[in-house]
Amino acid sequence: MPAITPSQTVGPFFAYGLLPQEYGYAGIAGSRLVAPDTPGEHILLYGRVVDGEGRPVEDAMLEIWQADAEGRYADAPDGGRADFFGFGRTGTDGEGRFRFETVKPGRVPAPDGRLQAPHIAMIVTARGLLNHLFTRIYFEDEEAANAEDPVLARVPEARRPSLIAARQTLGGMPAYRFEVRLQGEAETVFFEFVP
């Protein structure tokens, strides 16, 4: 059997390759996942990436993957057909900030047949990260669904707040704020998904 290829850092200079829109070339994905007519509640997802000393991470790349407002993934192995693609990619700016425009996802099935709470999957890459990191964004205003989510249930209670985005309003739009803390007291929970 072939052995897996080791991970390496994305490095500091990925933007012209992975986010070439910034350099005038076509890219495969950006920070806007929605068209004006995409069904569902349109939201902003924004925040900051900070390191262990609280300094902004100005050269991170974030990718998100999510279901549509009805809880369907595009091209899913369950045959789901979503209203939109559900994948986004962006870089952080000089202050470590990022921002996506998307829809609030619906609930998707859990392995036991019940439903997961609405969530957005995120991959974090950056200079200094030798491995990409998986985290999840849950929503503050989904208290009941969050309470029965099988993934959140595995997270020690004291660390759950690191995964829950706070609802605000920004420019008249519902906005969820999510901080990615790579290290420190409130280090974000990063996952390994096991079979």
Partner 1 sequence: MTPPPRFAPRDDSAHPPMIHPDYRSSRSRGPVRPLLLVPQTLTELSGPVFGEGAIGELDSDLTRNAARNGEPIGERIVVSGRVLDEAGRPVAGTLVEIWQANAAGRYVHRRDRHPAPLDPNFLGAGRCLTDAEGRFRFLTIRPGPYPWQNHDNAWRPSHIHFSLFGPAFLTRLVTQMYFPGDPLLAHDPIFQSVPAPARERLIARFALDLAVPGFATAYSFDIVLRGPAETPMENR
Q: Considering the rule CB under 8 A, would residue 15 count as an interface residue with partner 1?
A: yes
Span of 37-45, 46-54, 138-146, 167-175 interacting with partner 1 by CB under 8 A: 46-54
Q: Fill in the DSSP letter of residue 25.
A: S
What is d(CA 152, CA 67) in angstroms, rounded to the nearest whole number?
18
| Residue 97 contacts residue 46 (beta carbons within 8 Å) | yes
Q: Please work out the total of residues on this chain that contact partner 1, with binding judged by CB under 8 A.
A: 78
> Could you say which residues in the range 154-173 bind partner 1, by CB under 8 A?
154-155
Residue nearer to partner 1 on the CB measure, 99 or 160: 160
Stretch that binds partner 1, among 15-23, 39-47, 137-145, 167-175 (CB under 8 A): 15-23
Binding partner 1 (rule: CB under 8 A), the pick from 83, 86, 96, 98 is 86
Cα-Cα-Cα-Cα torsion 31, 36, 38, 39, nearest 10 degrees, comes to: 130
Q: Using CB under 8 A, which residues numbered 96 to 155 contact partner 1?
A: 108-111, 116, 119, 121, 123, 125-134, 136, 150-151, 154-155
* SS3 of residue 162 by DSSP: helix
For 185, residues 6+ apart whose C-beta sits below 8 A from its C-beta are none
